[in-house]
Amino acid sequence: MRAALSMGEVPPGSTCTHRRLLPADPLMSLQLGILLALLCAFASNLAFLYKHRGASSACDVDIRHPFRTARSLWSQRWFAIGMFVGLIAWILHVGAMSLAPLSVVQVVLSGGLVLLAVMADRLFGFKVGKRQWWGLGMTFVGLALLALTLPSSHGAHSGFSVPAMAAFQTGLLGLGVLFIMGPRLGGRAEHHGVMLAAAAGVLFGVCNLGVKALTGIVGESGVLGLALSPWLWVALVGSATAFYASARSLQVGEAVAVIAITGTAANIATIAGGIIVFGDPLPGDTLGIVVQAIAFVLVIVASALTPAPMRAAARASGASTPAAASA
């Protein structure tokens, strides 16, 4: 029994849902997870910027013709490169989630807004204004406060309650559908790109939570448990829907704005899921909770300030649309 417990298995009567083989040093596991999350943030933003360049030259995304749409998108070289870089980012994300608590990983990814602005300004011809740089500063302060108030964590927190997961995922899927249907429900047409970006982010959050659950299931049941798990299919549905919503948002919205909103919505949905569904730790004292709440508010406000730098130059395929110019 003692040997089994040393390998990270759950003893009889434990309240944990999944067993998991834990690294010998939980602190090293957490640090490695944070490093993978930082690399994921860089790769993810680079992938989105490449995909925007390719999506701008593809045919309009039409969910009624999914295969024709996908073929048109993938035929664009920059979009295909972006998808390949995005695959690398996804692998890094899965690795980070398997090593660190979900909320920690997503807080690190929230700092990707800083990388997004710098990369857009230096590599892709966007001008980042003073308002956006204020947003970057607030992001740094928020992330620093979160790092100071995070309690010590042991393991990756992959255990979860099935009813809580089902209810939370259902709510996210419903919210994503509402955003997608925005114009038909009375939303302003010029905000359609932003609403699609928010929908894509929420649906990416659905995928992230499903993948987090699967990292624990694989540790218990192996590949067979992965194939039979309903969370695999929930993650696939969320990911596929997010793919089309994100591609269309890149076509009808301003690049930096929709990329930042997609990332922010995904981070908020996933952080909330990490705390509510997976029981990621919160500070044990009132001061820590207040400081962490302020930190989350700073990150959210920063995400509103950081988007919307205007293009320094028109796209090679033509001038920006009026809706994009007024974003």
Average pLDDT over residues 291-318: 59
Q: Give the contacts of 99 (CB within 8 A, at least 6 positions apart).
A: 23, 29, 30, 32, 33, 36, 156
Give whole-number Cα distances, 205 to 26, 75, 122, in Å. 25, 27, 29
The residues pairing with 126 across neighbouring beta strands, listed in sequence order, are 311
Average pLDDT over residues 93-116: 78
Q: Give the contacts of 39 (CB within 8 A, at least 6 positions apart).
A: 92
Q: pLDDT at residue 280 above 60?
A: yes
Which residue has better confidence, 246 or 111?
Answer: 246
**Of 21, 29, 31, 34, the residue nearest 218 (C-alpha):** 21
pLDDT given for residue 315 in this prediction: 39
Residue 7 corresponds to which tokens in the numbers above?
A: 């390998």
Lowest-confidence pick of 60-74, 107-121, 254-268, 313-327: 313-327
Q: Where are the alpha helices (DSSP H) in 150-191?
A: 162-180
d(CA 90, CA 6): 30
**Of 267, 221, 203, 26, the residue nearest 213 (C-alpha):** 221
Which residue has better confidence, 31 or 24?
Answer: 31
How far out from the chain centre does Cα 312 lie? Answer: 27
For residue 304, what is the enclosing H or E element?
Answer: helix 286-305
Residue 50 corresponds to which tokens in the numbers above?
A: 């490449």
Report yes or no on 5 lying in a domain. no
| pLDDT tens column, 183-235 | 777 666 667 788 899 999 999 999 988 888 887 777 666 666 677 788 888 88
Residue 41 corresponds to which tokens in the numbers above?
A: 């943030």
pLDDT given for residue 319 in this prediction: 39
pLDDT band per the 50, 70, 90 thresholds, residue 318: very low
pLDDT given for residue 101 in this prediction: 76
Report yes or no on 235 lying in a domain. yes
**Of 260, 203, 242, the residue nearest 45 (C-alpha):** 260
Lowest-confidence pick of 69-73, 90-94, 131-135, 240-244: 131-135
Q: Count Cβ atoms below 10 Å from residue 34 Cβ, excluding itself.
A: 18
Could you tell me the maximum CA-CA distance found in the chain, to the nearest angstrom?
A: 68
| pLDDT tens column, 128-171 | 667 767 776 777 777 667 666 666 555 555 577 888 889 999 99
Which residue has better confidence, 151 or 308?
Answer: 151
pLDDT given for residue 264 in this prediction: 79
Report yes or no on 16 lying in a domain. no
Which residue has better confidence, 127 or 13?
Answer: 127
pLDDT given for residue 9 in this prediction: 44
Q: pLDDT at residue 282 above 60?
A: yes
d(CA 70, CA 160): 35
Q: What's the total number of domains in the chain?
A: 1
**Whole domain around residue 268: which residue ranges?**
24-325
Report yes or no on 15 lying in a domain. no
Residue located via tokens 């993978």: 36
Report yes or no on 12 lying in a domain. no
pLDDT band per the 50, 70, 90 thresholds, residue 304: low
Q: What is the rounded (10 degree) CA torsion for 150, 260, 183, 320?
A: 170
